[in-house]
Structure 1
Amino acid sequence: MGRRSVHSPEELRQLILDASQTIVERNGITGLSAREIARMIGYSPGTLYNIFENLDDVLLTLQVQLMARTLEHMKRVPLGPHSDQNIEALAHSYVDFALVNRRMWSLFLAHSLPPGTTVPALLHDYTNSIIDIVRGALEPIAPNSPREALDATARTLWAGLNGITAIAATEKGVYLTPATAQSFAKELTTIFLKGLRFEVAHQ
């Protein structure tokens, strides 16, 4: 793109993030470099380091943005009076979002944090907000469970769904592929909910 004479720091930050996302979606994480980002936005490679600490900072910011979009996607799932259907709808929506954005989703697998780097607080916040939605959908099934126990139950279910999306998004699975991921997610939620109801009934 043509370089304007002046970009504000916030404008430049978004230019870098947009270019980085485009590169990752086209070529994966291995295609990302300061030089390639700079080429796309019309600045020198050193400009990136005036805005971000390093490429890891850029990648973490992209992951935060992706999780924010995931949360907004989950909030839009219509929920009704039937808990099982609500959980299935949330799981279906989550897997669907991951597969539509599979290149970016693979960032969670491909990007390893350097030693001493902490996960951004916002990433935790968005993830916890998604778990809150899931826990709320599970509450009618186990209304007497303590919040901490139900929170752990919601996280366990979502960990399983993350495993499904992780394998499907990388397209490295033999049986678990983008084409079969939803059927695996439905089977997981069905078995999980049966187990939860059995546990509640025998408490």
Structure 2
Amino acid sequence: MIATRPRPKPRQKPAGAPRTKPAEVRLDELMNAAQRLFLEKGVESTTVSEIVEEAQVAKGTFYTYFASKNDMLVALGERYTQHFLQALEQAIEQCAKDDWVSRLRVWVHANVATYLATYSIHDIVYTNHHHHDRNNKAKNAILDQLMVILEGGKAAGVWQLSDPRINALMIYSGVHGVTDDAIVDRLEDCTAFADKVSVSCLAMLGR
């Protein structure tokens, strides 16, 4: 009878051994690392080498996703806008679907609160946006969201608007303009402030 060697057991990774992360997780961590450094040092002073070191990835990983640091900045801006819109949408969805007054009031509150909480990131990712840049995708996305509320209220007879687009532009510009003042004043609790802003916006619509 021929003796056989016992089959070796498969090698097991030691506890705590790193595992390959999903691409979307790795990308998010890379962008988070860049955002932290941009906030701390500024975009111009931050290098790609510092970003990958902060994210604990190889430099090649950076260039898998981005052609340059500016390319990443554009992606951060798109992510910021997506998160901003999600915050507004989540707030709006707490209201009844046909309560257009509450939806507008909540939209204003969420804009003020979210902008106040994230303006430092906003100022980095939108640093190149100027008045001559009329085709501002982030602004248009938020305006589209506001237009749904204004047109819904108009259709329901809640307010009479000859041109909802003009009203949306005035409300958008007004809300973000006055919130800039709140940022300068370092306002910590924005509740009363947002109440006043929403009252003014509703008054503009005759409510």
Asked if TM exceeds 0.5, the reply is: yes
Question: Is residue 16 from structure 1 mapped to residue 19 from structure 2 by the alignment?
Answer: no
* Alignment partner of 1:37 is 2:54: no
In structure 2, the residue matched to 1:76 is 90
Structure 1 partner of 2:188: 179
| Aligned mates of 2:41, 2:143 — CA distance in 1 | 30
SS in 2 for 1:101: helix
Aligned residue for 2:186, secondary structure, equals coil
- Larger relative helix fraction: 1
Distance 1:96 1:157 in 2: 16
SS at match of 1:197: coil
Instruction: Say if 2:48 and 2:59, in contact at 8 Å, map to a contact too.
Output: yes
- Shift in Å, 1:157: 0.4
Structure 1 spans left out of the alignment, 5+ residues: 199-203
Does structure 1 residue 194 correspond to structure 2 residue 199? no
Within the candidate set 53, 60, 80, 1:66 is matched to 80
Q: Which residue of 2 aligns with 1:201?
A: none
Q: Contact 2:48/2:69 (CA < 8 Å) preserved in 1?
A: yes
Counterpart for residue 113 of structure 2:
96
Q: Deviations over 1:29-74 (max 9, x none)?
A: 4664312212112345565344213222212211211211122222
CA distance in 2, matches of 1:15, 1:120: 27
1:56 aligns with 2:70: yes
The answer to whether the 8 A contact 2:151-2:164 is kept is no
- With over 3 angstroms needed to count, the CA separation of the structure-2 counterparts of 1:113 and 1:192, relative to structure 1, is closer
Q: How does 1:103-122 map to 2 (within 5 A)?
A: 103-107=120-124, 111-112=127-128
What TM-score do the two structures reach when normalised by structure 2?
0.66
Tell me the CA shift for residue 91 of structure 1: 0.9
Paired residues of 1:17 and 1:58 also in contact (CA < 8 A): yes
Q: Which 5+ residue runs of structure 2 have no aligned equivalent?
A: 1-17
**SS at the partner of 2:205?**
helix
Q: How many residues align?
A: 183
Whether the 8 Å CA contact 1:164–1:181 is kept in 2: the answer is no
Which amino acid is 1:177 matched to? Answer: R
Letter in 1 for 2:81: M
- Percent identity of equivalent pairs: 14
1:83 offset after TM fit, Å?
A: 3.9
State the alpha-carbon separation in 1 of the partners of residues 66 and 136 from structure 2. 14
Give, in whole Å, the separation in 2 of the partners of 1:91 and 1:49.
39
Q: Secondary structure at the match of 1:179?
A: coil
How far is 1:182 from its partner? Answer: 4.4
The 8 Å contact of residues 38 and 45 in structure 1, kept in 2 or not, is answered as yes
C-alpha distance 9-195 of structure 1, shift in aligned 2 (>3 A): closer
- The 1:8/1:67 distance shift into structure 2, 3 A limit, reads same
Q: 1:23 to 1:134 in 2, by over 3 A?
A: farther
Q: 1:189 to 1:137 in 2, by over 3 A?
A: farther
2: distance between equivalents of 1:17 and 1:183? 34
